[in-house]
Each structure stands twice: as C-alpha cells, then as structure tokens.
Amino acid sequence: MTPAPNEKNARPERHMLDALVCPVTQGQLTYDAQAHELISRTAHLAFPIRNGIPIMLASEARELD
C-alpha cells in the first residue's frame, strides 16, 4: 500500500508550475524545492505548496526579506 502524499513528499507537476504566475504581479515564479514554495521575487512573496497543490493566495504567502 502506498502512503498518502503529505507536504514533505508531494511534488507539483512541472507543467503546472510553468503555467502559474504570481497573483499579485503576474510575474514569473520560481520553485524552491527545499522550502516547498513558489517564489515571486518581484512581489517579495513565497507561496506555499501543500500536498502538491500551490496555494496562490496573497493572504497565505510568506513575505521575503
């Protein structure tokens, strides 16, 4: 039996990541596999990925330094 995916091992599909843009700036996102986040450098935000699903809400994003 395969274990259910969790935040640590669920990976988003590459083609899905290529189609996503920052909801704040409409700019490009980069994937940080170690932090499991999508990074918007122009908005200075990191959007979490939970169970393989990017959470593209500004209210859920973490502010970058």
Strand partners, 40: 45
Q: What pLDDT does residue 11 have?
A: 66
Whole-structure pTM value: 0.78
> How does the average pLDDT of the chain come out, rounded?
85
pLDDT band at residue 52 using 50, 70 and 90 as cut-offs = confident
Q: Where do the domains of the chain lie?
A: 12-49
The string over 10-24, giving b where at least 16 C-beta atoms fall within 10 Å of a residue's C-beta and e elsewhere, is eebeeeeeeeeebee
pLDDT digit string (tens) for 12-42? 677 777 789 999 999 999 999 899 999 999 9
Q: What is the CATH number of domain 12-49?
A: 2.20.25
Backbone angles phi, psi at 49, to 5 degrees: -120, 120
Dihedral, CA of residue 15, residue 34, residue 51 and residue 38, to nearest 10:
-50
